[in-house]
């Protein structure tokens, strides 16, 4: 039971942290194309 809860929390953390990384990569790509 505790393992399942931990996995849920881990997946939430991954989602929260993966979004800024993805947006950063997109922003860097756009800037490299513009500049």
DSSP structure string for 1-35: -HHHHHHHHHHHHHHHHHHHHHHHHHHHHHHHHH-
Q: How far is it, in rounded angstroms, from Cα 15 to Cα 9?
A: 10
State which residues form the domain around 19: 1-35
Q: What is the pLDDT of residue 32?
A: 94
Residues in the chain: 35
Which two three-digit tokens encode residue 17? 């942290």
Q: What is the pLDDT of residue 23?
A: 92
pTM: 0.49
Q: How far is it, in rounded angstroms, from Cα 10 to Cα 18?
A: 12
Q: What is the pLDDT of residue 1?
A: 58
Query: pLDDT in tens for each of the 35 residues of the chain?
Result: 578 888 898 899 888 889 999 999 999 999 999 88
């Amino acid at each position: 039971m505790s393992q399942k809860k931990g996995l849920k929390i881990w997946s939430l953390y991954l989602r929260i942290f993966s979004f800024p990384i993805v947006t950063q990569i997109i922003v860097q790509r756009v800037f490299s194309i513009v500049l």
